[in-house]
């Protein structure tokens, strides 16, 4: 089965595969892009491996944030910590406002060319239809179907 590389679930698969490759220090993204993969691997990467990796990273990030917020309170005291954080928040808000103001000026100078967008018409099967088709095929054949990725011009 050939899938268009520009559909959202194929892009999500390659994003999840890059996260998995960075975590395991492998290079399976390039292999899957050129040689294809099977539906079992696609669903495993998207529904099991990547959520576990993201959860582990969230726990690590949460621990780091807790270490950054708890230790300075004990060192500087609560009032010193709040005043330091408040000053940092004000500086960040000023930088954000300046960037947003410049972006708004740039967008206004470009004109209104964004209003003429083409309506979205899906031609590829949806992600759930793809997974359901794979589960039905898996149940019938007891193997996972091979999936290759092609550009929209190449997909038949």
Q: Model pTM?
A: 0.53
Would you state the pLDDT for residue 127? 72
> CA 17 to CA 30: how far, in whole Å?
10
Question: Who contacts 14 (Cβ-Cβ below 8 Å, separation ≥6)?
Answer: 29, 32, 33
| Position 99 pLDDT exceeds 80 | yes
Judge whether 146 lies within some domain: yes
What would the pLDDT profile of 104-153 be if each residue is shown by its tens digit? 888 777 655 555 555 655 566 677 777 777 666 666 666 777 788 887 66
**Residue 20 belongs to some domain of the structure:** yes
75-84, 91-100, 138-147: range with lowest mean pLDDT:
138-147
Beta partners for 45?
Answer: none
**Segment 25-64, tens digit of pLDDT:** 887 777 777 778 888 888 888 889 999 999 999 999 999 9
Tell me if 33 is assigned to some domain.
Answer: yes
Parent domain of 20: 2-76+142-150
Contact 2, 155 (CB under 8 A): yes
């Amino acid at each position: 089965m050939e899938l268009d590389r520009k559909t959202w679930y194929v892009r999500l698969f390659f994003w999840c595969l890059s996260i998995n490759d960075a975590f395991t220090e492998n290079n399976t993204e390039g292999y899957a892009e050129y040689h294809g993969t099977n539906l079992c691997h696609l669903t495993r990467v998207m529904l099991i491996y990547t959520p576990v990796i993201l959860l582990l990273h969230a726990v690590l990030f949460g621990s780091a944030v807790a270490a950054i917020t708890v230790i300075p309170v004990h060192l500087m005291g609560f009032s010193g910590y709040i005043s330091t954080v408040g000053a940092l928040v004000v500086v960040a808000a000023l930088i954000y406002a300046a960037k947003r103001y410049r972006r708004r000026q740039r967008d206004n100078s470009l004109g209104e060319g964004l209003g003429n967008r083409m309506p979205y018409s899906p031609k590829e099967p949806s992600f759930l239809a793809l997974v359901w088709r794979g589960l039905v095929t898996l149940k019938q054949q007891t193997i996972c179907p091979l999936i290759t990725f092609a550009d929209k011009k190449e997909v038949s």
